[in-house]
Structure 1
Amino acid sequence: MHAPEIPGFTFVDLVGEGGFADVFRYQQELPTRQVAIKVLRSGSDAASIELFRAEANVMAQLSNHPSIVPIYQAGVSSDGRAFLVMEFCPPPHVAQRYRTQPLAVGEVLDIGVKIASAVETAHRAGILHRDIKPHNILTSTFGVPLLTDFGIASVVGETGAGAQGLSIPWSPPESLTADSHDVRSDVYSLAATLYSLLIGHPPYERRDAPNDNASLMTRIERGQLTPLRRPDVPASLIDVLRRAMAVEIDKRPVSAMVLGRQLQDVQIELRQSPTRLEVMDASPAAVGEGHPNDARTLVRPVSVIIPAAVHERLGPLQPAADEHASRPGAARAATGSSSARRPPPRRDGDRRLALPARIGIGAVAVALVAAVGYALVAGSGGDDGPQDGPLRGEDPPDAVIDVPPAPVVSKSGKGTRWTFTWTQDEPRERDEFKVLLTGDGADQDAPEYTAATSKTLTVPRDATVCIQVSLSRVGSPPSPPSDQVCVVGR
């Protein structure tokens, strides 16, 4: 597809091609800089162009967020194609990197919290992304992850997952057969994206089985997630991502904010400084509300002008306050009450919009909030059943945390041959132990994670080896470490 002529911009080269839009690099004349311009592949009628402009205006206001790609301007080229002018982010991006080498745990957690901040900001303005995947996370010149492509390539053409421009490997089950208006669908796709960065391929892709669309969709609908076996990935992080990718939507975290807080929990568990959640709250009631912030979360009320052209669009579906379940981990989430309304059932005729109208509808955002405001809830999906949560901005009460007791370690042996054995009260399937050896006779540089309950080793003569064991259990924070047990080689 050829690049359109746009006054004030000089074409440089093609950056990327998609099913419904292409991205070109241009040189802007004033101010002089390189920019990326995303261009829809088809023209639009006057009504759709007006809707496109209105939605672009809303997204441009949100692009001030530090984790959303800045939008400089939008327009329609002389041949009738709508376009967006955005910051140019030079490669390589995570989409190129993770297929070559899975990303480090610390980087994935940082990306996850920052992108969760961006998704939460969009949701509070009434925008569903609907296409979160590695390819839509770019990297700025300074290495900051930036979320892009808020629906510009979505909901084009006929109904069905493929025609909607959905990226099947990262799509939740409910989106494969029908349009989803629930914010938890974006939560699922974000978790699937993070899982991909850790495992080195899409979450349901397998090396020993077919990976065509039909096979992937079957695994997604059944929740047959490819196991992630990396010794440096803590069980708590795998548990967070699995819950966020639950097949049943009610078992997922009810907001991107909560998923971000859960990722912060893992950072703290790994003794990393938690990445700050920075949220721009554009819900209509936010400006007059108080927003107590803490070291982990910053909520900044902003005023976003909703143009008349999108004033009557339905907002995204927000889970009711009593639909979330207590989440694992010791962290406390900033939460909220919800007065969101569910959209009425869609009639068959509503799905058969003319192609130009669907292009306009999917140009920048799939859904924008109606005039009636909502305050976002937070909490999480889990297996423990529903329970009420506090209002957003309040400091929630301490959760009742099931912290497993420390393992009990014993030793046996003599001379230079010793065996350490540990036991756990009420052991469960998938229990994993963190084993740390210290002393001048230890040959271990880092903790070992194992399901075994004993370890035999040779201790050099007159050398000392000490052991401490803690338990990592799915759905619970780590146990305290055991008492230190030491042996001396004779």
Structure 2
Amino acid sequence: MQQPPQIPGFHFVDLVGEGGFADVFRYQQELPTRQVAIKVLRSGSDAASIELFRAEANVMAQLSNHPSIVPIYQAGVSSDGRAFLVMEYCPPPHVAQRYRTQPLAVAEVLDIGVKIASAVETAHRAGILHRDIKPHNILTSTFGVPLLTDFGIASVVGETGAGAQGLSIPWSPPESLAADSHDVRSDVYSLAATLYSLLIGHPPFERRDASNDNASLMTRIERGQLTPLRRPDVPASLVDVLRRAMSVEVERRPVSAMVLGRQLQDVQIELRQSPTRLEVMDASPSALGEEHPNDARTLVRPVSVIIPAAVHDRPGPLQPGLDEDTRNPGHSGHSGHSGHSGHSGHASLSGHSGRRAATGGRSARRSGPQRSEERQLGVPARIGIGVVVAAVAGAIGFALLDGSSGDQDGGKDGTLRGEDPPNPVELLDRPPAPVVSKSGKGARWTFTWAQETPRPGDRFKVLLSGDGVQQSAPEYIEATSKTLTVERDATVCIEVAVIREGGETSALSQRTCVTGG
């Protein structure tokens, strides 16, 4: 840890946390009197890094009235040349401390997911990628509101070539392990990986019975070998939404954080919960002239934001093709799933048309000292401990609509508690039931089953019934056949289901019976 800088109007209190490229200190502000958290970049930042740091702070300060985006009270450069951000301080515990002890409830994870998706979408529309979404960067306000921190810092670090210090492998998409990614779907992946972590109690590719070093994790990430989530209270639709968003193939993921948030809302409705409102501040240049059909599930608020040249001129977020349903999902009742790309023309959510992100050659196969949690699996984590946010005075105000009002016909106001979702999520990878055949005679019989779409690692649930069966408990095996001895005139029936690792269990096969001779 470096010494805290001298900042006029603030008195140092103590260290909150430290990471690979910045430290967070608690200070007492003189006027107004309050405790704040100040994030300070490590010394040695060059002029270009500091300029981009200031530019990102200017953009995020204008968006900091969003209920789930870290507000910035102040930014500057200390007398010894270190850039800093002043934010509100709030003590832990936050989700990063909680999920390792006890996985979070499904309802809370869904609520966090929708709110953070709103924050991510808002930043994307202002031309900013997060690049380091993970449990440590989701904090909790005094009122229990989830808040995403460290916006823009990742892109600053990446632009200046220091990104090696900030990559958080357990939640990074596979494309980021080889080069910089400017695609908004990389943030979508990391958000889904974070939510998966909160449900399973550890990073999504970490395993209890195997090595979890950097190389092992990266291999699983690149192959999509997601650790199965086996919680009876987690609906299959939620598991599938997260698995789809964490697809190895970028094209299979939701096209935006907005669409992921909408899918999470569908799961809330499936569980008979009131959907959390998607609240997006649209800072793209075209937003002020567009119609935003807000409803009970979505609020899109066009805002005017001054984009500094340092932000405007660098590669902006790469956004796949969009249509109106993707930008404002739900207004037309279309599905909005990850495969729904809309019109063939591309539109950048940042509004900077014509910009395309060229991936750099920076390798992500890095090493570093092992450290639990804040240097997760050898990768120094972004600072997020104890830094929490609240609204900044003078930022743009929100006019929240009353979700209970409006005409319910035609889906204009969205769906509410107890209604069926207009775009239910179809299971992505539920294998079909196997087909069982039988052979043999007399007392010796063999059941054999075949799959339409076999996968490595598939297992089978075998259920026997009939008066020739002594034990009716299911058996779980990897073999695709079972040979039995059946007593004379006794009947044995078999049903088989496919259990897919990281996927869904198929329906049982048709019952197949034999009689001993």
Question: What's the TM-score once normalised by structure 1's chain length?
Answer: 0.69
1:118 matched to 2:126? The reply is no
Q: Which residue of 2 aligns with 1:194?
A: 195
Which amino acid is 1:269 matched to?
Answer: E
Q: How many pairs does the alignment contain?
A: 375
TM-fit CA distance, 1:58: 0.5
- Deviation per residue, 1:465-487 (Å, 9 max, x gap): xxxxxxxx9999xx9xxxxxxxx
Alignment of 1:195-344 (within 5 A): 195-321=196-322, 332-333=335-336, 338-340=346-348, 341=354, 343=356
Kindly indicate whether the alpha-carbon contact (under 8 Å) linking 2:131 and 2:154 is maintained by their aligned counterparts in 1. Answer: no
TM-fit CA distance, 1:51: 2.8
TM-fit CA distance, 1:307: 1.7
Q: Distance in 2 between matches of 1:202 and 1:399?
A: 29
Alignment of 1:337-356 (within 5 A): 338-340=346-348, 341=354, 343=356, 345=358
Alignment of 1:53-202 (within 5 A): 53-152=54-153, 156=157, 163=164, 165-202=166-203
Which amino acid is 1:96 matched to?
Answer: Q
Q: Secondary structure at the match of 2:264?
A: helix
Kindly indicate whether the alpha-carbon contact (under 8 Å) linking 2:179 and 2:361 is maintained by their aligned counterparts in 1. Answer: no
Structure 2: segments with no counterpart, 5+ residues = 349-353, 365-381, 384-411, 415-421, 428-450, 459-475, 477-499, 508-517
1:41 matched to 2:54? The reply is no
Which amino acid is 1:281 matched to?
Answer: D
Q: Distance in 2 between matches of 1:223 and 1:248?
A: 9
Kindly indicate whether the alpha-carbon contact (under 8 Å) linking 1:10 and 1:27 is maintained by their aligned counterparts in 2. Answer: yes
Q: Distance in 2 between matches of 1:293 and 1:56?
A: 29
Q: Distance in 2 between matches of 1:151 and 1:256?
A: 16
**Deviates most, 84-93 or 212-221:** 84-93
Kindly indicate whether the alpha-carbon contact (under 8 Å) linking 2:315 and 2:358 is maintained by their aligned counterparts in 1. Answer: no
Kindly indicate whether the alpha-carbon contact (under 8 Å) linking 2:49 and 2:156 is maintained by their aligned counterparts in 1. Answer: no
Q: Distance in 1 between matches of 2:319 and 2:33?
A: 42
Q: Distance in 1 between matches of 2:44 and 2:293?
A: 46
TM-fit CA distance, 1:428: 10
TM-fit CA distance, 1:157: 7.9
- Deviation per residue, 1:61-118 (Å, 9 max, x gap): 1111000111101000111000000111220000000000000000000000000000
TM-fit CA distance, 1:280: 0.3
- Deviation per residue, 1:393-424 (Å, 9 max, x gap): 999xx769879xxxxxxxxxxxxxxxxxxxxx
**Deviates most, 153-162 or 42-51:** 153-162
**Deviates most, 8-17 or 45-54:** 45-54
Which amino acid is 2:27 matched to?
Answer: Y
Q: Secondary structure at the match of 1:123?
A: helix
Q: Secondary structure at the match of 2:128?
A: coil
- Change in Cα spacing, 1:246 to 1:394, as seen in structure 2 (3 Å) is farther
TM-fit CA distance, 1:164: 5.1
Alignment of 1:359-438 (within 5 A): none
- Change in Cα spacing, 1:46 to 1:224, as seen in structure 2 (3 Å) is closer
Q: Which residue of 1 aligns with 2:53?
A: 52
Q: Which residue of 2 aligns with 1:24?
A: 25
Q: Which residue of 1 aligns with 2:387?
A: none
Q: Distance in 1 between matches of 2:277 and 2:28?
A: 34
Kindly indicate whether the alpha-carbon contact (under 8 Å) linking 2:204 and 2:227 is maintained by their aligned counterparts in 1. Answer: yes
Q: Distance in 2 between matches of 1:157 and 1:257?
A: 25
Kindly indicate whether the alpha-carbon contact (under 8 Å) linking 1:77 and 1:83 is maintained by their aligned counterparts in 2. Answer: yes
TM-fit CA distance, 1:339: 2.4
Q: Secondary structure at the match of 1:43?
A: coil
Q: Distance in 1 between matches of 2:266 and 2:159?
A: 42
Q: Distance in 2 between matches of 1:247 and 1:265?
A: 23
Kindly indicate whether the alpha-carbon contact (under 8 Å) linking 2:140 and 2:146 is maintained by their aligned counterparts in 1. Answer: yes
Kindly indicate whether the alpha-carbon contact (under 8 Å) linking 2:280 and 2:301 is maintained by their aligned counterparts in 1. Answer: yes
Q: Secondary structure at the match of 1:71?
A: coil
Which amino acid is 1:262 matched to?
Answer: Q
Which amino acid is 2:203 matched to?
Answer: P
Which amino acid is 2:234 matched to?
Answer: V
Q: Distance in 2 between matches of 1:399 and 1:130?
A: 29
Q: Distance in 2 between matches of 1:105 and 1:207?
A: 22
- Change in Cα spacing, 1:264 to 1:157, as seen in structure 2 (3 Å) is closer
Q: Distance in 2 between matches of 1:235 and 1:400?
A: 12
Q: Distance in 1 between matches of 2:110 and 2:96?
A: 16
- Change in Cα spacing, 1:260 to 1:475, as seen in structure 2 (3 Å) is farther
Q: Distance in 1 between matches of 2:97 and 2:21?
A: 21
TM-fit CA distance, 1:347: 6.9
Q: Secondary structure at the match of 1:163?
A: helix
- Deviation per residue, 1:122-173 (Å, 9 max, x gap): 0111100000000000000111000000142566489999715110000000
Q: Distance in 2 between matches of 1:402 and 1:98?
A: 28
Identity fraction in percent: 83
- Change in Cα spacing, 1:332 to 1:33, as seen in structure 2 (3 Å) is farther
Q: CA RMSD, aligned part only? A: 3.9
Q: Distance in 1 between matches of 2:425 and 2:201?
A: 33
TM-fit CA distance, 1:312: 1.6
Alignment of 1:437-448 (within 5 A): none
- Change in Cα spacing, 1:80 to 1:401, as seen in structure 2 (3 Å) is closer
Q: Secondary structure at the match of 1:12?
A: strand
Q: Which residue of 2 aligns with 1:369?
A: none
- Change in Cα spacing, 1:248 to 1:285, as seen in structure 2 (3 Å) is same
Q: Distance in 1 between matches of 2:220 and 2:105?
A: 26
Q: Secondary structure at the match of 1:89?
A: coil
Q: Distance in 2 between matches of 1:3 and 1:70?
A: 21
- Change in Cα spacing, 1:144 to 1:238, as seen in structure 2 (3 Å) is same
Kindly indicate whether the alpha-carbon contact (under 8 Å) linking 1:157 and 1:164 is maintained by their aligned counterparts in 2. Answer: no
Kindly indicate whether the alpha-carbon contact (under 8 Å) linking 2:121 and 2:256 is maintained by their aligned counterparts in 1. Answer: yes
Q: Distance in 2 between matches of 1:204 and 1:81?
A: 36
Kindly indicate whether the alpha-carbon contact (under 8 Å) linking 1:168 and 1:216 is maintained by their aligned counterparts in 2. Answer: yes
